[in-house]
């Protein structure tokens, strides 16, 4: 089964349209590139509502650090310190159109990101009994899971690859402490994702410090539920570049990451459980979103709003870290899997998390698409585009247009893919890699975690030169034969040397403006302790 689907691209801006002549010349072919959907603006409503038997939790208003201990409980096992003020009592909680109904009123509250927690009542035998979750699970739609722990199967929607109905518990459900209930609302008529939205309810052993307002939500994946204070955020590690004339509002960027980033499945089919209201389905948009958010965080602005965005990005990193401990990886796959390495890299510094940093630094090679899709060519000595493939797969694609469309050049002379400066190199990765490379340069401490320089060299080359196809001794469609006829230019794609320079889809005007303003000020070396 071909892992890349043929879906037409919708260009984001008229300024990025190519001429008809260029298209007919084959400079950039669009077949096989997923379309660029506009990411829907999150609903501008309060982050959560509670239906409370006695009182409602305080509304989410950003980050509250009011006297939160740096170690609520032990910070690792999820044991909670009893709050100084009594928590609200909730017979149900509602968030993003999802309602969890209980058999009685239980202590409840919200974490810093607005997600709900609930704890057993004094007479509930250490459990929280969930009577209903609406919209209800029916016919394989609107599913839910408890502590998702598989990176290849899920219980959210039967129309999404990897669905397993056995993962959906029966209701009523007696929830134990240290359980995350992840509930989805299904979506119909979408060719890319099966989910409209998703929310997480966390069951704790007892009300946490400050009723959770100063805590990250524990990771939804797996059984480890650490309670980590938002006060741990190392905002002092962020640079503070001068603002640009045109920038996205911090609140808008925060809204993009406010809801749970349901991102724990392997391969391109993970797109199918990326909820429409929570995140883009396609990795190319995820990559440019995460890189642009990281860059926006590095610009001087309102401290509270910067801190809120940092909190949402760190929450994403905590969820990714837990899933990767459970087997998740982001192997190179067209335009599907990049963007997450930067989230983890930034999160490790913001949270002072050595284990998260090691997850990036010590798990390179092909763990992340950014590493697997960029390699130093043995023939050219340049950083080249292309994912690992066999020689046979490469030539099958070159000769017949079949097989994988992002294979690297097996000889290491030119950019890979079905056509350099086309397909996945142009449509779905170049702009994301450029923005991520800029983030690494503008905050040099990130490079001490990332460690690899290939993306930096590649981004500079793409911006300044474009595709690399010369010199090349191999004959086009020659299955490895040397080119002995220089009359039409030597090599497989001689006319495309320099094509696509600083262009591509899934770009971001703010990231491009940051490059223009600050790339020249960033150095090439960094000192790491």
Question: What would the mean pLDDT of 14-34 be, rounded to a whole number?
Answer: 32
Distance CA 443, CA 128 (A): 44
Phi (first) and psi of residue 197, to 5 degrees: -155, 175
pLDDT of residue 488: 84
Burial of 259 (0-12, 13-18, 19+ CB in 10 A): buried
Is 68 a residue whose pLDDT tops 60? no
**Bridge-partner residues for 359, per DSSP?**
none
Is 34 a residue whose pLDDT tops 70? no
pLDDT of residue 22: 34
CB-based burial, 177-188: b 16+ in 10 Å, e otherwise: bbbbbbbbbbbe
Token digits of residue 329:
């990886």
**For residue 218, what is the DSSP state?**
P
pLDDT, tens only, 280-319: 999 999 999 999 999 999 999 999 999 999 999 999 999 9
pLDDT, tens only, 463-501: 999 999 999 999 999 999 999 988 888 999 999 999 999
DSSP letters for 162-212 = TB-GGGS--SSEEEPSSEEEEEEEE--S-SS-SEEEEEEEEE-SSPPGGGG
Is 55 a residue whose pLDDT tops 50? no
pTM of the model: 0.86
Distance CA 155, CA 144 (A): 6
What is the pLDDT confidence band of residue 20, given thresholds at 50, 70 and 90? very low
Q: Percentage of residues in the chain with pLDDT exceeding 90?
A: 79
Q: Which of 281-290, 326-335, 360-369 has the lowest mean pLDDT?
A: 360-369
CB atoms within 10 A of CB 91: 18
Phi (first) and psi of residue 288, to 5 degrees: -70, -30
**Taking CA 71 as the corner, what is the angle to CA 67 and CA 76, rounded to the nearest 5 degrees?**
145
Instruction: Say if residue 186 is preceded by a cis peptide, omega within 30 of 0.
Output: no
Question: What would the mean pLDDT of 170-185 be, rounded to a whole number?
Answer: 98
Is 18 a residue whose pLDDT tops 70? no
What is the pLDDT confidence band of residue 189, given thresholds at 50, 70 and 90? confident
- Specify whether the CB–CB gap between 100 and 86 falls below 8 A: no
pLDDT of residue 364: 63
pLDDT, tens only, 431-446: 999 999 999 999 999 9
Phi (first) and psi of residue 383, to 5 degrees: -75, 120
Residue-level length of the chain? 529
Is 44 a residue whose pLDDT tops 80? no
DSSP H helices in 338-418: 340-350, 354-361, 369-372, 391-400
Is 518 a residue whose pLDDT tops 70? yes
pLDDT of residue 429: 98
pLDDT, tens only, 348-362: 999 999 999 999 998
Calculate the alpha carbon distances from 395 to 25, 392, 399, 457, 475 in Å: 21, 5, 6, 27, 11
């Amino acid at each position: 089964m071909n892992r890349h689907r043929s879906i037409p691209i919708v260009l984001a801006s008229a300024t990025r349209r190519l001429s008809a002549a260029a298209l007919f010349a084959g400079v950039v072919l669009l077949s096989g590139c997923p379309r660029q959907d506009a990411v829907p603006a999150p609903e501008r409503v309060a982050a959560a509502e509670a239906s409370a038997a006695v009182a409602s939790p305080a509304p989410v208003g950003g980050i509250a650090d009011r006297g939160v201990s740096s170690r609520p409980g032990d910070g690792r096992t999820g044991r909670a310190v009893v709050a100084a003020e009594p928590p609200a009592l909730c017979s149900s909680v509602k968030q993003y159109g999802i309602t969890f109904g209980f058999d009685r009123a239980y202590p409840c509250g919200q974490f810093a990101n607005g997600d709900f927690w609930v704890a057993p009542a004094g007479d509930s035998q250490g459990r929280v009994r969930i009577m209903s979750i609406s919209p209800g699970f029916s016919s394989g739609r609107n599913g839910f899971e408890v502590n998702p722990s598989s990176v290849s199967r899920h219980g959210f929607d039967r129309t999404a690859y990897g669905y397993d109905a056995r993962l959906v518990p029966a209701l009523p459900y007696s929830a134990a402490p240290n359980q995350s209930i992840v509930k989805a609302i299904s979506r119909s008529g979408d060719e890319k994702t099966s989910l409209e939205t998703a929310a997480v309810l966390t069951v704790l052993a007892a009300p946490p410090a400050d009723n959770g307002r100063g805590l990250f939500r524990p990771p939804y994946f797996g059984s480890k539920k650490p309670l980590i204070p938002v006060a741990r955020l190392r905002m002092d590690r962020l640079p503070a570049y001068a603002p640009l004339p045109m920038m996205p509002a911090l609140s808008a960027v925060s809204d993009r990451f406010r809801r749970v980033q349901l991102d724990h499945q392997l391969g391109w089919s993970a797109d199918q459980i990326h909820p429409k209201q929570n995140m883009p389905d396609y990795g190319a948009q995820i990559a440019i979103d995460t890189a642009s958010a990281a860059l926006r965080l590095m610009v001087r602005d309102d401290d509270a709003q910067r801190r809120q965005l940092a909190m949402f990005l760190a929450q994403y990193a905590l969820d990714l870290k837990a899933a990767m401990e459970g087997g998740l990886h982001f192997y190179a796959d067209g335009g599907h899997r990049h963007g997450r390495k930067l989230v983890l890299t930034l999160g490790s510094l913001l949270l002072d998390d050595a284990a998260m940093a090691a997850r990036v630094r010590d798990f390179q090679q092909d763990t992340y698409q950014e590493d697997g899709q960029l390699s130093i060519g043995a023939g050219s000595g340049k950083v080249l585009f292309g994912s690992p493939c066999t020689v046979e797969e490469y030539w099958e694609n070159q000769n017949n247009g079949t097989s994988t469309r992002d294979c690297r050049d097996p000889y290491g002379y030119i950019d890979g893919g079905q056509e350099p400066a086309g397909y996945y190199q142009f449509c779905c990765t170049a702009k994301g890699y450029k923005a991520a490379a800029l983030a690494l340069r503008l905050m040099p401490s990130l490079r001490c975690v990332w460690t690899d320089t290939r993306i930096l060299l590649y981004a500079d080359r793409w911006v300044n030169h474009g595709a690399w196809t010369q010199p090349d001794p191999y004959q086009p469609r020659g299955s490895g034969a040397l080119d002995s006829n220089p009359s039409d230019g030597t090599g497989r794609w001689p006319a495309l040397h320099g094509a696509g320079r600083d262009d591509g889809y899934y770009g971001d005007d703010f990231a491009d403006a940051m490059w223009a303003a600050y790339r020249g000020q960033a150095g090439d070396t960094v000192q790491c302790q």
